[in-house]
């Protein structure tokens, strides 16, 4: 064995038994998802909703994230979501927060002005939950339920126009606050010609559609957690 090989062996042994040669423990991030039926994944298994699919993709990419903490109920409007949060407050800080709310405001004919005010309050709360880091809050647009079989016989154009108006508000408020905005509405409208994007209830997104959402949300989430 020559001198070079002896030195290499010695270095290897030193590193192997060094007290500093410990496996670096990967940080486990926390995620909060607040919203309504689109967040809990009405009509699909919980593992198939977008928060859990997003968690899986992040974990597969090497970013360890714990099980999503979800505050959402089918049918909630903005004011009902705020009430639900107040009654069951989350436990911040979170490394990433998603906010998707407003379809029931549109469905019940609530005003845009009321939506803006209440959405703004919810966004402020989401930012606080994200340790006062607006860049860690992803605002997700409202999907268009008017393309679903459930809307058969309704004025689909009117629904689409109203959904667009509500989405204009949540995008504007996201930009004002410095929060990333993810528009998944166009994806939801593909269900017009692809029924596989609709869940069995004919109203909510299928697991497949949520997977398409996650393809758009994932890069934003990965960027947030990689900084």
In this predicted model, what pLDDT tens digit does every residue of 121-149 receive, in sequence order? 999 999 999 999 999 999 999 999 999 99
Residue 87 sits in a domain whose CATH number is 3.40.50.1110
Task: Identify the pLDDT of residue 25.
Answer: 64
Q: Pinpoint the alpha helices (H) of 89-226.
A: 103-107, 112-129, 156-177, 185-188, 207-226
Q: Is there a domain that residue 10 lies in? A: no
Q: Is there a domain that residue 21 lies in? A: no
**Residue range of the domain that includes 219:** 27-226
Task: Identify the pLDDT of residue 194.
Answer: 97
Pairing of strands 96-99, 137-140: parallel
Which are the contacts of 8, defined by CB distance < 8 A and separation ≥ 6? Answer: none
Q: Is there a domain that residue 152 lies in? A: yes
CA angle in degrees (0–180, nearest 5) for 180-208-144: 60
Q: Is there a domain that residue 5 lies in? A: no
For the chain, how many structural domains are there in total?
1
Q: Is there a domain that residue 1 lies in? A: no
Taking only the tens place, the pLDDT of each residue in 25-70 is 679 999 999 999 999 999 999 999 999 999 999 999 999 999 999 9
Task: Identify the pLDDT of residue 104.
Answer: 98
pLDDT at 12 over 70: no
In this prediction the pTM is 0.89
Q: Is there a domain that residue 19 lies in? A: no
pLDDT at 18 over 70: no
Q: Is there a domain that residue 8 lies in? A: no
């Amino acid at each position: 064995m020559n001198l070079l090989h002896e030195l290499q062996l010695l270095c290897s042994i030193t590193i192997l038994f060094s007290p500093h040669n410990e496996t670096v423990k990967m940080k486990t991030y926390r995620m909060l998802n607040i919203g309504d039926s689109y967040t809990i994944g009405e009509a699909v298994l919980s593992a198939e909703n977008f928060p859990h699919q997003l968690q899986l993709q992040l974990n597969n990419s090497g970013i360890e994230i714990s099980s999503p903490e979800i505050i959402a109920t089918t049918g909630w409007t903005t004011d009902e979501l705020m009430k639900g949060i107040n009654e069951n407050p989350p436990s911040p800080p979170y490394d990433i927060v998603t906010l998707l709310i407003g379809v029931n405001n549109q469905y019940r004919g609530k005003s845009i002005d009321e939506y803006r005010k209440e959405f703004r309050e919810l966004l402020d709360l989401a930012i606080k939950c994200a340790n006062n880091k607006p860049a860690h809050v992803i605002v997700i647009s409202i999907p268009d339920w008017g393309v679903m079989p459930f809307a058969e016989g309704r004025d689909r154009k009117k629904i689409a126009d109203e959904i667009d108006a509500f989405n204009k508000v949540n995008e504007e408020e996201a930009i004002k606050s410095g929060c990333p905005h993810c528009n998944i509405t166009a994806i939801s409208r593909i269900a017009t010609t692809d029924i596989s994007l609709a869940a069995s209830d004919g109203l909510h997104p299928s697991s497949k559609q949520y997977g398409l959402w996650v393809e758009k949300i994932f890069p934003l989430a990965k960027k947030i957690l990689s900084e």
